[in-house]
């Protein structure tokens, strides 16, 4: 949803929860995040309102995931709203 700065993002997960996500150091310089990107995030066990970003999907990958039915079309439309 939003880039908060200091390597943090505000993301909306498929379960409807908004989480503050952290970009780990291994991805910081390899992947640039923008509003509207579809990301794979791992929620923290001890604090469920926080998560770590694991991967950012590119547009072609998002299209293929939608064709296979892995992610709903509404999620793609929501992402396009922010882009």
Could you give the number of structural domains in the chain? 1
Q: What is the pLDDT of residue 33?
A: 77
**Does residue 60 register a pLDDT over 90?**
no
pTM, two decimal places: 0.74
Q: Which domain holds residue 32?
A: 2-82
Q: What CATH code is carried by the domain that includes residue 64?
A: 2.40.50.140
Q: What is the pLDDT of residue 50?
A: 92
φ/ψ of residue 48, rounded to 5: -70, -10
Task: Provide the pairing of β-strand 18-22 with 50-56.
Answer: parallel
- Rg (C-alpha) for the chain, rounded Å, is 12
Q: What is the pLDDT of residue 34?
A: 78
pLDDT per position as a tens digit, 27-44: 767 777 778 788 888 999
């Amino acid at each position: 949803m939003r880039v908060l700065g200091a390597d943090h993002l505000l993301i909306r997960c498929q379960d409807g929860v908004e989480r503050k996500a952290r970009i780990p150091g291994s991805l910081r310089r390899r992947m640039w995040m923008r509003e509207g990107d579809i990301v794979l995030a791992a929620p923290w066990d001890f604090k469920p309102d926080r998560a770590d970003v694991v991967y950012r999907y590119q547009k072609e990958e998002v299209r293929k995931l939608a064709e296979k039915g892995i992610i709903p079309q509404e999620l793609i439309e929501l992402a396009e709203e922010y882009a």
